[in-house]
Structure 1
Amino acid sequence: MPGGQTPKELTPDSGRKLFGLQLRKARQQRGLSMDTFIEEFVGRTRTPISKASLGRIERGEYLAQPVLPSLLDRFFETDNELFVDMYDLACVEAVPQQYKLRSNLEREAVAIKAYGGTVIPGLLQTEEYARELFRAWRPGDEGWSETQGILRRKRQARLSSEDPPLLSVLVDETVLTRQIGTPEVMRTQLEFVLSMVDTPTCEIHMVPAGLGAHGLLGGTLILMTTPKGQTYAYEEAISTGTLVEAPERVQHLERHWDRLWGRSLSPMETARFLKKALEAFP
């Protein structure tokens, strides 16, 4: 440290800070400065990390990227996946309480039906599109935005796993034409949606604006079916989310979703619209 200063000790009062503290201790026990650690770590793992990012992680300001914990366990030859376990704890803590039940059900679901009436549903958001939304919600809080982005990518990893859910998505036309971020951000987002319109495990239908009023208008809905055949609904507003478990209420919402699915554009028609919409974002 410059001037012989000792790094400020962290108080590990959260999983994120505990992860950072253990990383700093492991590095210092090896006698590695931050610069030397980065040089050796990148050389052995081929995974880039900047000194600024390393500092933020060690201070417990940001969550590490999902790829980092297992690489740290191998680099430091830790027992029992120490960094992986601490990272999992930090991720659990970072999810607000009202979203934890939703997250658990989403991880287990064999089928997911989603409706996005205001923005692209989270499972289909690109990194930059999501970051623009997070920054709009908490302006100036880059640490929070970065953490939310990491959690979002962990959710999305399920879609490319060996056992992905069957994903069916309804998206309002206005969502696909409302620019979020720069034209480049929006173009990348629409290109990703286009790539997912009709795959073996994902189907996307656009709800045309001319359809008028419908039972899901003005909200966001996720329907999750577990391996046991139970379906749960999750309704989300700007800053709140409600898990719906009562069977009669879930059936009511699912009927609205199914009716809208039948009245929306097919994947082929949706793809045609997306290709046209992309022309507005060169």
Structure 2
Amino acid sequence: MVNIAQLDPSASPLDYYGWELRRQREAAGLTQNQLGDCIFCTGSLVGQIETTRKLPTREFSERVDAALGTGGLFSRLIGLVLRSQLPSWFQPYAEMEARATYISTFQTQVVHGLLQTPAYARALLAVDYPDKVEELLAARLERQRILERAEPPALWVVLSEAVLLQQVGSREVMREQLAHLLSFRDNPWVHIQVLPFAVGEHAGMMGSFTLLRFDDDPALFYVDSYDQGHMTANPSVIKERSVGYARLQATALSTEDSAVLIARVMEERYGDPS
């Protein structure tokens, strides 16, 4: 007799996804191989996802919904599943970020997660999470979907010039990443400024931080570290950091001049060495 793994659907979003996938498949009278044939994958992959040994993707979820006629169930679940792959201390921030209508962030060392290319993000994640790179990458790319909404949040990013010069991955990875930043030049909801070294001391010397604003809830201030994130709605902190951020925006290059600098670094530092 085949030993069928038992899942506790309340254990995690991933367990619930696998449990529900098996339930819906069996209700449709399909074997794993038959469902795999319907959605252009192997039955083995279906089995691995049902038993939580493999993380589902958004494309897989959309195909399952179409094949089983589940009305978008798995396409809705996949967001929860991918978000659950984030470090537990980061998940509360990710949930609030997804609800924000205005995001303003200052980054001192790396490109903000919402603007990272897959190759850049993969290189970063491999440093601290070599065994979970693909799962965390999928979660990070899922976060970026908020920029694709019909009504996306307004995103204002101030990057230290160091972000452009610190090579992450290969030269090709950096060139692609800087080109990706430039692709937002005509996006009305994304604004990118570079804070050049020449400004000297500035209002962000204490490090990276993010401010989230909402339509009906108090604003939040967020800063993270290696193993935890700190988030607060303390009005005095919000006021202080909002003023600090405004000063950073005023000190940084304009969005137009920032694009010129990004393009120059992309060509001079990461262009074809020949």
Q: TM-score, normalised by structure 1?
A: 0.83
- Aligned equivalent of 2:49, options 57, 79, 102: 57
Whether 1:6 aligns to 2:2 is yes
| Contact persistence 1:110–1:166 (CA under 8 A) | yes
The aligned counterpart of 2:96 is 105
Alignment partner of 2:104: what SS? Answer: strand
Q: Counterpart amino acid of 1:246?
A: N
Alpha-carbon distance in structure 2 between the residues aligned to 1:50 and 1:7: 20
The aligned counterpart of 1:220 is 208
Q: Counterpart amino acid of 1:241?
A: G
Closer, same or farther: CA 15–107 of 1 in aligned 2, 3 Å? closer
Closer, same or farther: CA 176–53 of 1 in aligned 2, 3 Å? farther
Alpha-carbon distance in structure 1 between the residues aligned to 2:96 and 2:186: 24
Whether 1:132 aligns to 2:129 is no
Q: Name the % identity.
A: 26
Post-superposition, which runs of at least 4 consecutive aligned residues in structure 1 deviate over 4 A?
24-29, 49-56
Whether 1:76 aligns to 2:68 is yes
Q: How many residues align?
A: 267
Alignment partner of 2:178: what SS? Answer: helix
| Contact persistence 2:35–2:43 (CA under 8 A) | no
> Any gaps of 5 or more consecutive residues in structure 1?
43-48
- Compute the displacement of 1:151 (Å): 2.0
Closer, same or farther: CA 85–107 of 1 in aligned 2, 3 Å? closer
The aligned counterpart of 1:154 is 142
Closer, same or farther: CA 197–240 of 1 in aligned 2, 3 Å? farther
Closer, same or farther: CA 39–218 of 1 in aligned 2, 3 Å? farther
Q: What pairs with 1:83-232 in structure 2 (closer than 5 Å)?
A: 83-139=74-130, 141=131, 144-228=132-216, 230-232=218-220
Q: Which shows bigger deviation, 56-65 or 170-179?
A: 56-65
Q: TM-score, normalised by structure 2?
A: 0.85
The aligned counterpart of 2:256 is 268
Q: What pairs with 1:20-31 in structure 2 (closer than 5 Å)?
A: 20-24=18-22, 26-27=24-25, 30-31=29-30
Closer, same or farther: CA 262–229 of 1 in aligned 2, 3 Å? farther
Instruction: Note the aligned Cα RMSD (angstroms).
Output: 2.6
Whether 1:257 aligns to 2:245 is yes
Alpha-carbon distance in structure 2 between the residues aligned to 1:216 and 1:157: 28
- Compute the displacement of 1:277 (Å): 1.4
Whether 1:18 aligns to 2:16 is yes
- Aligned equivalent of 2:236, options 248, 257, 263: 248
| Contact persistence 1:197–1:270 (CA under 8 A) | no
Closer, same or farther: CA 274–23 of 1 in aligned 2, 3 Å? same
Q: Which shows bigger deviation, 161-170 or 213-222?
A: 213-222
> Any gaps of 5 or more consecutive residues in structure 2?
none
